[in-house]
Amino acid sequence: MKIDYGPLEIQLGHFFSDRRLLGWALTHVSASTDRSISYERLEFLGDRVLGLIVAHMLFEAFPDQSEGELSRRLAALVRKESCAEAAQIWGVGPYIQLGEGEAQAGGSTKRAILGDVCEAIIGAVYLDGGIDAASKVVKKVFRDKMFSATADLRDGKTALQEWAQARRLPTPQYKLVLRGGPDHAPRFEIAVELPGFEPIIGVGGSKRAAEQAAATAFIKREKIDPQPNEKSVV
């Protein structure tokens, strides 16, 4: 059955030249025998495109904020929960193609799937129309979030530590990897380490900024919700 993507394209503000891209962005791996024809690869691309566009938006909107403040806003805006909300605004649920089991489990309403599809759609728009088209789509739905997304957001280190504690994991450790640059403009590279996870490095003009950058990068990589709603694992 041919799917009419017109109403969805109106919500997105982008009309695809190659609608196959949109179809792939809406196809869960459970509905495809070929992983290349599902949203996984587009999600990978869209995550990076979204991060770049939102970072640029924040850079222009908050000229007086520090790297750490911008990083916290970025983490709040590109987290899975925000992406899921964007997908709901677009009304993507009825368009998502799912395998029978996932469909019966209510996959089209799962926040994780909605968040993934949001990123995949952004990746599809980027491939179809370039960075300008992707920016238009992202700004339409994320611009208003810029000024409210961090109202309840804790700093990255606090969010990561509380997430680890809720799972009875050790406290994350921060280790200096490199200290470079001249005295008037130092550059610190610090790795955050947590047993069972690959270390990740953050960069900043101070140890504190580098630690926050590392924690924020860890949160983003592991797709942790940095909002204060974690529950202890029994």
* Active-site annotation, residues: 47, 119
Among candidate residues 78, 50, 52, 46, the one with its CA nearest the CA of residue 225: 78
Rg over CA atoms, the chain: 19
| DSSP for 89-138, written as a single string | HHT-GGG-B--HHHHHTTGGG-HHHHHHHHHHHHHHHHHHHHHHHHHHHH
Phi then psi for 228, rounded to 5 degrees? -80, 65
> CA–CA separation, 199 vs 192, rounded Å?
6
> CA–CA separation, 115 vs 29, rounded Å?
15
How many beta carbons lie within 10 A of that of residue 141, not counting itself? 20
Confirm if 226 and 183 have CB atoms less than 8 A apart. no
